[in-house]
Amino acid sequence: MLGNAFALFVAVSHLLFMIVETFLWTTPGVRKRFGQTAEQAEATKVLAANQGIYNGALAAALAWSVLAGEAFATTVLLAFVVVVGVYGAYSAKRSILFVQALPAAVALTLVKLGM
């Protein structure tokens, strides 16, 4: 039960990532958060929107796996989030490790422990 709650938290987080990347990328607050000028945000908005769609699809798949009781799918999706989060921390921004990979690792651990 606790693992599923954490997995749903990860799903909601990725839904929020999707909203930011797909709809809010060029807004002043998001530009400031990502350290981008208006020109940089405008130049990368299509790439960010594409990334956002992937995050939305991941959120939907993860929520479905939890709500459908598909523990194997939940495990695979959470493991995917951990791997991608670690890579993102390495290649893009260290904070991704704490915002994305850590919550997924906690959820994955709890799911695997049957909690």
Q: What is the mean pLDDT of each run of 10 residues along the chain (115 residues)?
A: 96 97 97 95 97 97 97 97 96 93 97 89
**How many of the other CB atoms lie within 10 Å of CB of 84?**
17
pLDDT at 114: 87
pLDDT at 72: 96
Domains of the chain, by residue range, sit at: 2-112
pLDDT at 115: 77
Note whether 66 and 22 are within 8 A (CB): no
Q: Please name the residue ranges forming H helices in 37-92.
A: 38-67, 71-91
Query: Torsion over CA of 63, 65, 68 and 71, rounded to 10 degrees?
Result: -140
